[in-house]
Amino acid sequence: MTRAALTLQAPPFYLSLTCQKDREESNSGTPVIQLRLAGENRKHHEGRVEVFYNGVWGTVCDDDFSIYAAQVVCRELGFVDAESWSPSAKYGRGEGQIWLDNVYCAGGEKSLAQCGSNGFGVSDCKHSEDVGVVCNQKRIAGFKFIRNQANSEEGLTVQVEDVRIRATYAHRKRVPITEGFLEVKDGGKWRQICNEEWTEMNSRVICGMYGFPGEKRFNVKSYKLLAKRRKKNYWGFSVNCTGNEANLATCKLGRAIELKGNSTCGKGMPVVVSCVPGRAFAPSVSTGFRKAYRLEQPLVRLRGGAMIGEGRVEVLKNGVWGTVCDDNWNIRAATVVCRELGFGSAKEALTGARLGQGIGPVHMNEVECSGFEKSLTECHFNRDSLGCSHEEDAAVRCNIPAMGFHNRLRLNGGRNPYEGRVEVLAERNGSLVWGTVCSDSWGTMEAMVVCRQLGLGFASHAFQETWYWQGDSSADAVVMSGVRCSGTELTLDQCLHHGKYVHCPRGGGRFAAGVSCTQTAPDLVLSAQVVEQTTYLEDRPMYALQCAHEENCLSSSANKADASSYRRLLRFSSQIHNNGQSDFRPRAAPHSWVWHECHRHYHSMEVFTHYDLISLNGTKVAEGHKASFCLEDTHCDDGIQKRYECANFGAQGITVGCWDTYRHDIDCQWIDITDVKPGDYIFQVVINPNYEVAESDYTNNILKCRSRYDGQRIWTYNCRIGGSVSSEAEETFPGLLTNQLSHR
């Protein structure tokens, strides 16, 4: 089979390979072409489609292009299928020739050259119409990539079916696997790479792919002995990585190595890679997951992500947490964040507040990283940080080590993979058996851990009865009870539970624990500014508080108060924003909402907020009882339509991008401080205190202000949202960062 020589210098960050064709096909008159994916800031399985024909690289016009054409492109590149395609030069404009226009494919063609078109070089398009594709990351099993080395300066990228770190027998039971021989799968066979030209930068890329922040030294002698005993099957190329690549598939292919049996790698041996795991993933024997994950990073953190290793990027500056603007945000900067936090390289650099909007200042804008910084805070950025809103908050998804967490838990009986009865793998009488979880005290926090462990996102509901889900009858026995989670755990095992001695009064069966999971969740945040600006005192007569008294909105001394006496009320407005990715909806169905005759509307949540006044030593001295709410969209950001309104038994909730305002002059929007003595206090508001509805971030559900009361006037100042300030502020506001509240 003849192939044209490569002659042009290609742009950086591209994918290039020659695909195997049937000899009959090339003899039948169909032009033989090569394809590659090109473009900046992309993953290795997506990009602008480029065609090598007649010795020149060119692009493809988006006219008449379809998902069927994308499927042909992806399969020709060795991927199993196409996920989508993009018109209008989404991956940047190409240069030179536009080889194909009005491409029409049925989907079964072996090559893009077999699809209908105007003919090679016949086009009325501009490069603003260059087409791009996104392929499924999975490779075609047994696919043989043929590399054309006619021009080594072309810089072909590494193309293989799969990559693995193959641990030695001594390390195979350790989780995660951090060290071993590196093997690549090509043409259906696993092969080693000769280490003669292997570099630390290559190892850095491999470690990043597998969820590790860096590489380390290893005992070469022991691996030399092992290598002598093993049958070698070398891959025919070396590898050249800069160390910044997110995947081996974006590294350049090195020189071809002549395959001559054992003398192929005469001065070397098979490549060994040894990686340093991040804090959360220290190797352990597979049964020993006991540590819950706690982020201890002082300068950068992730918020709002369902899974470990993903979230909105937040940085600490002058003691205040803020966000990063997505201008120029790319995979290189995202990888600096991921490695800094103990993960591997970045899978995705997300823009447009894809993982929810943050609060506070936007600290960094137009971030540019070399890729080797120890912290995002070392990267160059625009210090003015002008012109960015939280709608442009940057986020990341990082590679994390394969821990096998999902193999020890399953959902059964649900209508879809995102719901079902929770079944866990537990050791009983020396063997591993599947069983159910006792639903006593089972709630949203426990459900959140289950969904995270299975990689299914956030919890949408926690169920204490699952009789309507037919689980595996052999797993009916309860094997886990007394489960209590803080919400930060990576697995259900890490939560508090009874251990081997199960105690479950109601038993399993219909009372086994269940969950439903969702990819997105709401995130409620109270406006600290509105609370601080609207706080005041009002003395109100008891006869004007009859309705509020019926709703339990006054302190207990009001039960004995004379109708002509006065109550002193600390009043304020609440403006509760939904900054998440899905609407906040009450858990209770409308038929169970409670009608309040006095206020003439339904309350959809039994407990939605707590208002408290607390002494500086932590003692509660007064409380409001704004227990239940009618939830609705009072105002929304520009372009967002209100969906929820309490009037006329309407639907209740808070839309993403909207807020529910409870004005200071509404009944129960207060704390009764009639019996409070003058002094300094902490004024505290907690939204969704019982975690009744799942949210992407509970740390920002608490607000604390300093308050000074002199017996006649009150000053409220320095209001802070939980998690918005550095740990130094913890001394001023105990519990502010951790939101340590009793949730049941």
Which single residue is written with the structure tokens 């004005």?
663
β-pairing verdict for 145-146 and 300-303? unpaired
| pLDDT exceeds cutoff 80 at 258 | no
CA 314 to chain centre: 14
pLDDT at 286: 41
Identify whether the C-beta of residue 466 lies closer than 8 Å to the C-beta of residue 421.
Answer: yes
pLDDT at 508: 75
Residue bearing the bigger pLDDT, 46 or 510: 46
pLDDT at 154: 54
The angle formed by the CA atoms of residues 642, 648 and 649, to the nearest 5 degrees, is: 85
525-540 burial, b at 16+ Cβ within 10 Å, e below that, comes to bbbbebbbebbeeeeb
Complete DSSP assignment for 120-144: TT-----GGGB-EEEE-SPBPTT--
CA atoms within 13 A on the CB side of 218: 19
Q: 612: part of which helix (H) or strand (E)?
A: strand 609-615
CA 521, CA 306: separation in Å to the nearest integer? 9
Torsion, Cα of 545, 548, 552, 555 (10° steps) = -40
| pLDDT exceeds cutoff 70 at 710 | yes
Question: How does pLDDT run across 14-49, given as a tens digit for each residue?
Answer: 333 433 333 334 445 678 888 888 887 788 899 999
Side chain identity, residue 337: V
pLDDT at 626: 59
Which single residue is written with the structure tokens 């982020």?
295
Bond before 505 cis per omega within 30 degrees:
no
Most confident of 86-95, 138-147, 163-172, 644-653: 86-95
Residue bearing the bigger pLDDT, 719 or 726: 719
CA 370, CA 380: separation in Å to the nearest integer? 9
pLDDT at 219: 83
Look over the chain and give the mean of its residue pLDDT values, rounded to a whole number: 85
CA 735, CA 744: separation in Å to the nearest integer? 17
The angle formed by the CA atoms of residues 36, 38 and 41, to the nearest 5 degrees, is: 145
Residues 6+ apart with CB under 8 A from 263: none
| pLDDT exceeds cutoff 80 at 582 | yes
Residues linked to residue 180 through DSSP beta bridges, in sequence order:
273
Q: Taking residues 141-157, what's their average pLDDT?
A: 63
pLDDT at 589: 76
pLDDT at 683: 94
Identify whether the C-beta of residue 169 lies closer than 8 Å to the C-beta of residue 162.
Answer: no
CA 92, CA 50: separation in Å to the nearest integer? 12
The beta strands (E) that lie in 365-457 are given as: 395-398, 409-413, 419-428, 431-437
CA 640, CA 644: separation in Å to the nearest integer? 12
With cut-offs at 50, 70 and 90, classify the pLDDT of residue 601.
low
Residue percentage of the chain with pLDDT more than 90: 53
Torsion, Cα of 396, 360, 699, 662 (10° steps) = -130
Burial class (CB in 10 A: 0-12, 13-18, 19+), 349: buried
> Lowest-pLDDT range, 366-380, 393-407, 618-632?
618-632
Question: How does pLDDT run across 393-414, given as a tens digit for each residue?
Answer: 999 999 999 988 888 999 998 8
pLDDT at 615: 93
With cut-offs at 50, 70 and 90, classify the pLDDT of residue 218.
confident
pLDDT at 458: 94
Identify whether the C-beta of residue 729 lies closer than 8 Å to the C-beta of residue 319.
Answer: yes
The angle formed by the CA atoms of residues 670, 697 and 340, to the nearest 5 degrees, is: 140
Residue percentage of the chain with pLDDT more than 70: 88
Residue bearing the bigger pLDDT, 263 or 5: 263
Token pair of 439 as six digits: 């639903």
> Lowest-pLDDT range, 155-159, 515-519, 530-534?
155-159
Question: How does pLDDT run across 72-130, given as a tens digit for each residue?
Answer: 999 999 999 999 999 999 999 998 899 999 999 999 999 999 999 999 999 999 999 99
Q: 158: part of which helix (H) or strand (E)?
A: none
CA 229, CA 240: separation in Å to the nearest integer? 28
CA 470, CA 414: separation in Å to the nearest integer? 8
CA 739, CA 665: separation in Å to the nearest integer? 28
Query: Strands of 679-687's sheet, edge to edge?
Result: 620-624, 609-615, 679-687, 702-709, 714-721
CA 688, CA 611: separation in Å to the nearest integer? 12
With cut-offs at 50, 70 and 90, classify the pLDDT of residue 536.
very high
Measured CA distances, 89 to 48, 53, 59, 259 (Å): 7, 20, 10, 41
pLDDT at 148: 57
CA 34, CA 111: separation in Å to the nearest integer? 9
| pLDDT exceeds cutoff 60 at 592 | yes
- List the domains of the chain with CATH numbers: 34-135 (3.10.250.10), 162-277 (3.10.250.10), 300-399 (3.10.250.10), 409-518 (3.10.250.10), 524-731 (no CATH)
Q: Taking residues 287-304, what's their average pLDDT?
A: 62
pLDDT at 740: 35
